[in-house]
């Protein structure tokens, strides 16, 4: 099971768009085999510190290892999947 | 035409860190030493990205954000601040007012300034640049 944490700064229209896009992307790539936690940095700065989050929005792949974090524009599926090392999985899912 | 970036911070060292980090990227970087000056510059020119310090004397980061958003709801604005609860709590005011912004942790290294700027402006050279371990 893949575990992700998405760090945002409040539930704004923009961050809701980010969440929806990300869920679509992860559903396509991982066929539901994932868990996504949404973390508001303002409410949980300690976890953001622990996860070494440097900016929002940020998506951290917690498991499986290696852990990786992607920041900035999360709307580009190719970039997100490549950065998190998930491209091969999506290709497998598309077969 | 190069993208234009505005850095608003009362600390000279912070402004210089952005200038130095971005000097070979092709972006145009302007700086302002106060919220008032930053607002004036924003009103006089178009920017593609704004980095905004939270804690400034006079017009602080939240008020500067509020004023910018009155006329421009789209320009990406990254507020940079230490990720301590006492500072982040101040951002709740902006949240309640539904002001759009993101945050950037202070202090920040030159590499991340460049990476993040390129990502925000749609210019990652490689996907690996988008991520870090």
The CATH number covering residue A54 comes to 3.40.30.10
DSSP state at residue B130 = G
DSSP state at residue B120 = H
* B108 with A54: Cβ contact below 8 A: yes
What is the percent of chain B where pLDDT is above 70? 91
The CATH number covering residue B93 comes to 3.40.50.2300
> Does the structure show a pLDDT above 70 at A22?
yes
Average pLDDT over all residues of chain B: 90
Task: Using the Cα atoms of residue B64, residue B65, residue B67 and residue B72 in order, give the sign of their dihedral.
Answer: positive
Interface probe, candidates B18, B98, B105, chain A, greatest A C-beta count within 10 A? B105
- A49 interaction partners in chain B (CB closer than 8 Å): 83
Task: Report the domain count for chain B.
Answer: 1
Average pLDDT over all residues of chain A: 87
Contacts of B93 (CB under 8 A, 6+ apart): B62
Contacts of B70 (CB under 8 A, 6+ apart): none
Per-residue pLDDT tens over the stretch B96-116:
898 999 999 988 889 889 988
Give the largest Cα separation in chain A, rounded.
41
Closest Cβ opposite residue A9 in set B102, B115, B119:
B102
* B127 with A82: Cβ contact below 8 A: yes
CA B67 to chain centre: 15
DSSP string, A49-91: HHTT--BSSEEEEEESSSPEEEES----HHHHHHHHT-HHHHH
Task: Report the domain count for chain A.
Answer: 1
Q: What's the CA gap between B129 and A92, in Å, rounded? A: 24
Q: Which domain holds residue B91?
A: 4-130
Q: A78 to chain B: nearest residue by CA?
A: B127
Per-residue pLDDT tens over the stretch B54-104:
999 999 999 999 999 999 999 999 999 988 888 888 899 998 898 999 999
Q: A84 to chain B: nearest residue by CA?
A: B131
Per-residue pLDDT tens over the stretch A42-53:
999 999 999 999
Q: What's the CA gap between B93 and B127, in Å, rounded? A: 35
Q: Which domain holds residue A12?
A: 2-94
């Amino acid at each position: 099971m893949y575990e992700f944490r998405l760090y945002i700064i409040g539930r704004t229209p923009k961050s809701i768009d980010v969440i929806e896009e990300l869920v679509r992307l992860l559903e396509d790539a991982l066929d539901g085999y994932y868990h996504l936690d949404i973390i508001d940095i303002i409410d949980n700065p300690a976890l953001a510190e622990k996860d070494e989050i440097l900016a929002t929005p940020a998506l951290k792949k917690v498991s499986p290892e290696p852990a990786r974090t992607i920041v900035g524009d999360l709307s580009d599926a190719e970039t997100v999947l490549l950065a998190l090392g998930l491209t091969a999985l999506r290709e497998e899912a598309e077969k | 035409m190069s993208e234009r970036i505005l850095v608003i911070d009362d600390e000279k060292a912070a402004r210089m860190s952005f200038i130095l980090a971005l000097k070979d990227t092709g972006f145009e970087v302007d700086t302002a030493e106060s919220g008032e000056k930053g607002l004036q510059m924003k009103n006089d020119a178009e920017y593609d990205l704004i980095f905004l310090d939270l804690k400034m004397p006079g017009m602080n980061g939240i008020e500067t954000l509020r004023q910018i958003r009155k006329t421009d709801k789209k320009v990406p604005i990254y507020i940079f601040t230490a990720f301590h609860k006492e500072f982040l709590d101040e951002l709740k005011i902006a949240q309640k007012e539904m002001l759009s912004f993101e945050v950037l942790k202070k202090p920040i290294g030159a590499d991340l300034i460049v990476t993040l700027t390129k990502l925000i402006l749609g210019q990652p050279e490689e996907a690996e640049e988008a991520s870090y371990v």
